[in-house]
Structures are given as structure tokens and as C-alpha cells.
């Protein structure tokens, strides 16, 4: 599992570690790792042109000492001193090694740019000259390596307010910062490389975590010799309407492809016909009134995709959420419970899977605010509503009190197409029915769904049904350790 921490957590851990080390030790460790990462990108260090963007803080010192190491290997290193001051010892070391202070036009001549403008202690929009230098670095042809966190990205939240460096690689020191895993910050960070400076024993419980393929493989239920379709989990799906038949087909398909032992689908005549044609494995109940009485025994429910938002949907939501079974609420189901939040007051596990607009309606917030601060609002919604929140988007996050928020590392922008959320609901519902808690079911479903999307797209557009089709390959990749 990959863990990440806020700026305050990192600073506190550094303070503890530095108390037992000679002054400057951590900066030298950071500079060594940073120089090695830059050398790896350059390939041939001797004769290359490296430009350092140097601010007044410790990140500027890291950049200067790393630049010294590259200069001693024959690189032509120039430093643009952006702050009112620079790390004196670091600058002296760079100059002794043959580096120099840069003049105009240095960025256009660079083979590599090192961003040491600001560090984890800075939040909010970059001021000049930092903002202008960030834009110049982004426009340059050379790859950019960010020191610890790209300048302009909030290390604790991933928020970006104004100009921010877009790095090819971010070399982060001691521990991954939360803002490197959450968009928009993650989109500015590029590949994140961690330099071990000895901080591990001093770190507290993480702020956020990201599952690896191995973590998902360990959590997934596996059928045994004594398994049958009932022991493998029976999922009830209430989705689709005469208007939105496809939502039912996709949710059922996601559940079947995710290993549910049986899927019981219940709905009106038109989606029933579509589900029966697409998935003959599903057990079908035709609903002529809003009642779950005749659906049969299930171990979890999926409620909402394409269901509609009228009295019919409200009655079904009230019945399902009135049971003691785990329930996943998505799409139209979220609109229903946003109008009547008392439906969510229940003791059994509840997993909601909103996008930013749906969450905005649920917690009476602005969509733009949620998109700008996904972690904050997912946490707040989990606490306020007493549920597990899977907030979908460019960075999907799973929040459940009092655990660290999980950030999903898989996915592709091609998943931004209609119906993929219905497939995700089916996957997560199947895992709920197989016995995973809402936190693990949501996290594993997001991982597998994102991986299936990546496999299905392979760099090209996809349809939601392609994601369901690719799910077995995603399960196999996780089991084989290749994801």
C-alpha cells in the first residue's frame, strides 16, 4: 500500500528526525536522491545543460546541492535565483563545483529543468516572479523535475490556484505527499519517485493511502472447494427503467463479471427484456409495483442506476435501505436520497458512489468547490451522512470514518463516457455481496474498474460495455502481480 501525508505531518516527522542528526544531513540525503533521478533522466550527464529554479526555502537548497553533484559530473549547471535570498551554503557549493548563476534565456537552452521554487510549506497561488518562472518552465522543451512537490501544487490537498509547474517527474523526499496523489496536483506531478531519507519511523498514521495490485489481490474473495453460487454472494440489482434500459444491463454485467455467485435483477418490463437478452445468467423478477418482496434472498443490493427519481424509486429506496443488508446507492438513487436524507440513517453498511454534482446535492455544496477539494468534501460527506463515500472523478477517492481516505491509482480519461459508472456499481455491489466491507469493496472496485478501463481503451475510445468485458482481464492481471 502506498501511503501519503500532509505537509504538517511531514514537517513534524522531520523535526523529530533532525533532532538526532548532524545539521544538513537530511538536505544532503535529499540532494543525493534528486541528483541520481536527474542523472537517470539525462542519460549522459557530462556536457548536459541543467537549469535550477531556486527559491528561498529548503527546496531551493536541495536543488542547489543536487546541482553541485551534477556539476561535479560534468554538467553545465545554472541557477535562476528567484527568491529574495538563496541557501548560502548550497549556492557556495554549486559555484565551487563550476556552476553559475543564470542569465536571461537559460530555460530555453536547458536539457533538464529542476524546480526548487517552493516546497511543502507554501499554499495558495504562486506570486511573481515564481508564477512567471513556472509558466516559462512549462513552455520550455526540456523535461522538468520537481523537488518534493511541483511549485504551485498544495502538498496537503492537491489544489492548484493559478500557475503551477507541470513536471515529468517529481522526486519527493521521505514520504509521498497527499497532493501528489489527488488531482489536480497529481496531474502536475508526473511520475512520483520517493527518496528515502530515513523518515519512516517518525511518520504518524497516513493521511491517505493508495492500494496496489497486491493489496487488491489480498482483499478479493476467492471461491473454494466448498463454494456454490449462494456462498459466493447473491446480489440484488434495482436499476433501469423504460427510459434507461442500458443502466440495468451494465450494472448486472459489472456484477457478473466481478464474480457474484448470482445476480437477481428486478425491474420494469423493458429493462427486464434487455437484461434477459444480454445476461441469461441473471435471475429476473418483473416488477409491476415497487416492491422487493418477491425478489428472493440476497446478501447486498445495488440501488439506483437509471431507476428514475419519482415515487416508484423512492418506495424501492425506502424498502431496500430499510433492510439490514449492505446497500450501494448510485445515480438516480442518490437523487432520491438527496431529497430524503433520512433514508440513509441506518446501521447496515452503505456505500454511495456520487460524482461531484451528485455529492453537491447530497451535502448542499457547490460542485466547483467539491472538484477543487475532493478529499475535504469526501471526508465531510462520510462524517455528515454516516456512510462510505466513493467520490468518482479524475481522482476517485473512498472515504469512511475514521480511516485514511483511499485514493485510486488506476483509470484512464477514456472512462469519462456514459454508463461506466453503472458498471462500477455492479462491480462494487458484487464485492459487497461476497462479504467485503463498504470501504474495501469500494476501493477494490475502483481499482479493478480503472484497470479494466485502461485495458479496454489501450489508448483509444471505449464504450461502457467494453469495461465490463475487460474485467476478467483486470482480475487476472491483479492475481498475476502485473497490475
The answer to whether residue 225 scores a pLDDT higher than 80 is no
Q: Which residues are annotated as a binding site?
A: 58-62, 115, 119-125, 130, 148, 151, 247, 306, 355, 392-396, 421-422
The answer to whether residue 113 scores a pLDDT higher than 70 is yes
> For the CA atoms of 298, 302, 308, 314, what is the dihedral angle to 10 degrees?
60
The predicted structure's pLDDT at residue 228:
65
The predicted structure's pLDDT at residue 217:
96
Q: Which residues are annotated as a binding site for K(+)?
A: 59, 115, 151
Q: Measured between alpha carbons, how far apart are the two ends of the chain, in Å? A: 13
The whole-angstrom distance between residue 47's C-alpha and the CA centroid of its chain comes to 39
426 in Cβ contact with 239 (< 8 Å): no
Distance separating alpha carbons of residues 75 and 54, to the nearest angstrom: 17
User: Which value, in Å, is the radius of gyration of the alpha carbons in the chain?
Assistant: 26
Distance separating alpha carbons of residues 290 and 314, to the nearest angstrom: 9
Distance separating alpha carbons of residues 447 and 2, to the nearest angstrom: 13
pLDDT in tens, 144-197: 999 999 999 999 999 999 999 999 999 999 999 999 999 999 999 999 999 999
Distance separating alpha carbons of residues 295 and 272, to the nearest angstrom: 13
* pLDDT (mean) for 231-259: 95
The answer to whether residue 62 scores a pLDDT higher than 80 is yes
pLDDT in tens, 79-108: 999 988 999 999 999 999 999 999 878 999
Q: Which residues are annotated as a binding site for AMP?
A: 392-396, 421
130 in Cβ contact with 66 (< 8 Å): no
What single string gives the DSSP state of each residue in 142-185? Answer: S-EEEESS-TTB-TTT--B-S-----SEEEEESSEEGGGTSTTH
**3-state class of 355 per DSSP?**
coil
The answer to whether residue 227 scores a pLDDT higher than 70 is no
Distance separating alpha carbons of residues 452 and 457, to the nearest angstrom: 8
Distance separating alpha carbons of residues 223 and 261, to the nearest angstrom: 9
Cell of 330: 448510485
pLDDT range class, residue 123, cuts 50, 70, 90: confident
Contacts (Cβ under 8 Å, ≥6 apart) of 139? none
pLDDT range class, residue 457, cuts 50, 70, 90: very high
* pLDDT (mean) for 113-129: 93
**Could you state, in order of their start, the residue ranges of all structural domains in the chain?**
2-207, 213-479
Contacts (Cβ under 8 Å, ≥6 apart) of 122? 57, 151
173 in Cβ contact with 145 (< 8 Å): no
Q: Which residues are annotated as a binding site for (6S)-NADPHX?
A: 58-62, 119-125, 130, 148, 247, 306, 355, 422
**3-state class of 140 per DSSP?**
coil
What single string gives the DSSP state of each residue in 249-317? Answer: HHHHHHHHHTT-SEEEEEE-HHHHHHHHHH-TTSEEEE-SSS--TTS---SEEEE-TT--SSHHHHHHH
CATH 3.40.50.10260 fits 2-207, yes or no: yes
DSSP label of 19: T
The whole-angstrom distance between residue 319's C-alpha and the CA centroid of its chain comes to 33
**3-state class of 209 per DSSP?**
strand
DSSP label of 388: E
pLDDT range class, residue 356, cuts 50, 70, 90: very high
The whole-angstrom distance between residue 185's C-alpha and the CA centroid of its chain comes to 11
Region of 211 please: left (phi>0), alpha (psi -120 to 50) or beta.
beta
The predicted structure's pLDDT at residue 426:
98
* pLDDT (mean) for 308-330: 97
Q: What fold, for 213-479?
A: 3.40.1190
Amino acid at each position: 500500500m502506498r501511503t501519503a501525508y500532509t505537509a504538517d505531518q511531514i514537517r513534524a516527522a522531520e523535526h523529530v528526525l533532525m533532532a538526532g542528526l548532524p545539521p544538513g544531513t537530511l538536505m544532503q540525503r535529499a540532494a543525493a536522491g534528486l541528483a541520481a533521478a536527474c542523472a537517470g533522466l539525462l542519460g549522459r550527464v557530462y556536457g548536459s545543460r541543467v537549469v535550477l529554479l531556486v527559491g528561498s526555502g529548503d527546496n531551493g537548497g536541495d536543488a542547489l546541492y543536487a546541482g553541485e553533484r551534477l556539476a561535479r559530473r560534468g554538467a553545465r549547471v545554472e541557477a535562476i535565483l528567484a527568491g529574495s535570498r538563496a541557501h548560502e551554503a548550497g549556492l557556495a557549493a554549486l559555484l565551487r563545483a563550476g556552476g553559475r548563476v543564470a542569465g536571461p534565456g537559460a530555460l530555453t537552452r536547458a536539457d533538464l529543468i529542476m524546480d526548487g521554487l517552493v516546497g511543502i510549506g507554501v499554499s495558495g497561488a504562486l506570486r511573481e516572479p515564481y508564477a512567471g518562472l513556472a509558466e516559462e518552465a512549462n513552455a520550455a522543451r526540456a523535461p522538468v523535475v520537481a523537488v518534493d512537490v511541483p511549485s504551485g501544487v498544495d502538498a496537503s490537498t492537491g489544489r492548484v490556484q493559478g500557475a503551477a509547474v507541470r513536471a515529468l517527474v517529481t522526486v519527493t523526499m521521505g514520504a509521498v505527499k497527499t497532493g501528489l496523489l489527488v488531482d489536480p496536483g497529481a496531474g502536475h506531478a508526473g511520475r512520483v519517485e520517493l527518496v528515502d531519507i530515513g523518515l519512516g519511523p517518525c511518520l504518524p498514521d497516513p493521511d491517505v493511502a493508495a492500494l496496489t495490485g497486491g493489496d487488491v489481490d489480498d482483499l478479493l474473495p476467492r471461491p473454494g472447494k466448498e463454494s456454490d453460487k449462494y456462498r459466493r454472494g447473491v446480489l440484488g440489482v434495482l436499476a433501469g427503467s423504460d427510459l434507461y434500459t442500458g443502466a440495468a444491463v451494465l450494472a448486472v454485467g459489472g456484477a457478473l463479471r466481478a464474480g457474484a455467485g448470482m445476480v437477481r435483477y428486478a425491474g420494469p418490463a423493458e429493462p427486464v427484456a434487455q437484461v434477459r437478452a444480454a445476461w441469461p445468467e441473471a435471475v429476473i423478477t418483473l416488477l409491476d409495483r415497487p416492491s422487493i418482496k418477491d425478489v428472493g434472498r440476497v446478501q447486498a443490493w445495488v440501488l439506483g442506476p437509471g431507476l428514475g427519481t419519482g415515487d416508484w424509486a423512492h418506495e424501492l429506496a425506502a424498502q431496500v435501505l430499510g433492510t439490514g443488508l449492505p446497500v450501494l446507492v448510485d445515480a438516480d438513487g442518490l437523487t432520491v436520497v438527496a431529497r430524503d436524507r433520512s433514508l440513509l440513517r441506518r446501521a447496515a453498511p452503505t456505500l454511495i458512489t456520487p460524482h461531484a454534482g451528485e455529492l453537491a446535492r447530497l451535502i448542499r455544496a457547490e460542485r466547483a468547490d467539491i472538484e477543487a477539494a475532493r478529499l475535504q468534501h469526501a471526508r465531510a460527506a462520510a462524517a455528515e451522512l454516516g456512510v462510505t463515500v466513493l467520490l468518482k472523478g479524475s481522482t476517485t477517492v473512498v472515504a469512511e470514518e475514521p480511516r485514511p481516505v483511499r485514493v485510486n491509482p488506476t483509470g484512464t480519461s477514456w472512462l469519462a463516457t456514459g454508463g461506466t459508472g453503472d458498471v462500477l456499481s455492479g462491480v462494487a455491489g458484487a464485492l459487497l455481496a461476497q462479504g467485503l466491507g463498504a470501504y474495501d469493496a469500494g476501493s477494490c472496485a475502483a481499482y479493478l474498474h480503472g484497470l479494466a478501463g485502461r485495458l479496454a481503451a489501450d489508448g483509444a475510445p471505449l464504450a461502457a460495455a467494453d469495461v465490463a468485458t475487460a474485467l476478467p482481464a483486470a482480475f487476472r492481471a491483479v492475481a498475476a502481480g502485473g497490475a
